[in-house]
């Protein structure tokens, strides 16, 4: 289903959260596939997910990533699909690189947080495998480093990712730095928990891409618990369409 909004909305369906935080947090390949399809039908143009082991913890293992990607591909063919490479999933730069190198069932894109150790080498590896790179920018130092890098002209997307205390002034400062790179990559802005909905609205005002899902917030704008990812996406599409 196409979004009613002119703003690109991506669904981030689970993140590093664990199942004890929300009863509908998708973990298994089948759950990820169902959540991805529902989010797409609610208006999301793409999906970002964190493949997880049986314990509900993020994993970069090739078998786990492959099973998750294959399940979503089967259920929602053609839906642009991305995965995390978060350092927390394998906190060793060289081992992380080797783990991603072993991926054979590939998503369309993967996120790389630029402030993490080994980010540039990892981004180069992903590009060599034909994957799109979504670079995650958390602060000004990372933005400036990325803007000066050889990777900047080749990224699929630049994500300005603010924590719960992030505000629109910080977002605009980072946006200026990102745009100074003159990269052709579109910019996506999103927040986390308390900053999630205000920054989503700001993304709409700035004509930036944005995202929503249980990774970024468990709550609807009125403070009530969101039943699932599809409800969050539908609410975001409605807000951005006004």
Query: Contact at 8 Å (CB) between 58 and 51?
Result: yes
Q: At CA 144, angle to CA 87 and CA 137, rounded to 5?
A: 40
pLDDT of 228 over the 70 cut:
yes
Q: What is the pLDDT of residues 21-77, one digit of tens each?
A: 999 999 999 999 999 999 999 999 999 999 999 999 999 999 999 999 999 999 999
Residue 5's pLDDT is 45
What confidence category does residue 155 fall into, taking pLDDT thresholds of 50, 70 and 90?
very high
Residue 2's pLDDT is 38
pLDDT of 237 over the 60 cut:
yes
How many whole angstroms separate alpha carbon 176 and alpha carbon 173? 5
CA distances from 183 to 42, 152, 162, 172 (A): 30, 6, 21, 17
pLDDT of 6 over the 90 cut:
no
Structure tokens at 80: 């642009």
pTM of the model: 0.96
Domain boundary assignment for the chain:
9-231
Residue 176's pLDDT is 98
Residue 108's pLDDT is 98
Structure tokens at 190: 């999103």
Average pLDDT for 206-215 = 98
Alpha-carbon radius of gyration of the chain: 16
Fold of the domain built from segment(s) 9-231: TIM Barrel (3.20.20)
What confidence category does residue 145 fall into, taking pLDDT thresholds of 50, 70 and 90?
very high
How many whole angstroms separate alpha carbon 15 and alpha carbon 166? 18
What confidence category does residue 7 fall into, taking pLDDT thresholds of 50, 70 and 90?
confident
Nearest to 84 by CA among 16, 5, 152, 32: 16
pLDDT of 178 over the 70 cut:
yes
């Amino acid at each position: 289903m196409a979004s009613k909004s002119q703003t690109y909305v991506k669904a981030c369906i689970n993140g590093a959260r664990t199942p004890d935080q929300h009863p509908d947090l998708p973990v298994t390949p089948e759950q990820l596939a169902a959540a991805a399809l529902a989010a797409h039908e609610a208006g999301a143009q793409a999906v970002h997910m964190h493949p997880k082991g049986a314990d509900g913890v993020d994993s970069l293992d090739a078998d786990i990533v492959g099973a998750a990607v294959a399940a979503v591909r089967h259920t929602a063919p053609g839906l642009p699909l991305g995965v995390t490479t978060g350092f927390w999933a394998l906190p060793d730069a060289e081992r992380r690189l080797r783990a991603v190198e072993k991926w054979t069932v590939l998503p369309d894109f993967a996120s790389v947080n630029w402030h993490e150790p080994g980010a540039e080498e990892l981004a180069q590896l992903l590009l060599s495998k034909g994957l799109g790179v979504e670079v995650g920018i958390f602060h000004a130092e990372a933005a400036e480093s990325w803007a000066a890098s050889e990777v900047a002209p080749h990224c699929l997307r630049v994500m300005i990712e603010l924590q719960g205390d992030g505000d629109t002034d910080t977002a605009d400062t980072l946006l200026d730095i990102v745009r100074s790179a003159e990269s052709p990559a579109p910019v996506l802005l999103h927040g986390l928990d308390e900053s999630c909905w205000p920054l989503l609205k700001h993304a709409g005002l700035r004509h930036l891409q944005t995202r929503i899902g249980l990774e970024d917030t468990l709550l609807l704008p009125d403070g009530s618990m969101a039943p699932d990812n599809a409800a969050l996406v539908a609410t975001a599409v409605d807000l951005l369409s006004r």
